[in-house]
Amino acid sequence: MEQNTTPHKKILTGIVVSEKMDKTIVVKVEELSKHPLYGKIVRRSKKVKAHDEKNDCHVNDTVRVIECRPISKEKCWRLLEVVERAK
């Protein structure tokens, strides 16, 4: 984990859903929000591609990713740490 992270960069926590690409993982990030009119809690998710330099992550690992400069067309997140390994 790097100590020189700037405070304006976003950090997301999610679950790895794919590791088939070289040095790239796909992370599913879920967000719970309240519907503005009906008040029901709605679960929304998005998938982000993140750079994994050491090919360290596997499917179902819980990870934290941090925003970074664009590395490729769709990849602008970088692996910060593995929070929990899959069982």
Domains assigned to the chain: 11-84 (2.40.50.140)
Res 6: pLDDT: 62
Best CA proximity match to 81, nearest among 68, 65, 67:
65
Strands (E) in the chain, as ranges, are 11-18, 24-34, 41-51, 62-67, 75-84
pLDDT digits over 35-78, tens only?
999 999 999 999 999 999 999 999 999 999 999 999 999 999 99
Best CA proximity match to 51, nearest among 36, 35, 28, 67:
67
Question: What is the pTM (predicted TM-score) of this model?
Answer: 0.86
Best CA proximity match to 76, nearest among 3, 31, 12:
12
pLDDT digits over 3-43, tens only?
665 678 999 999 999 999 999 999 999 999 999 999 999 99
Which tokens belong to 56?
């360290």
Which tokens belong to 87?
């069982």
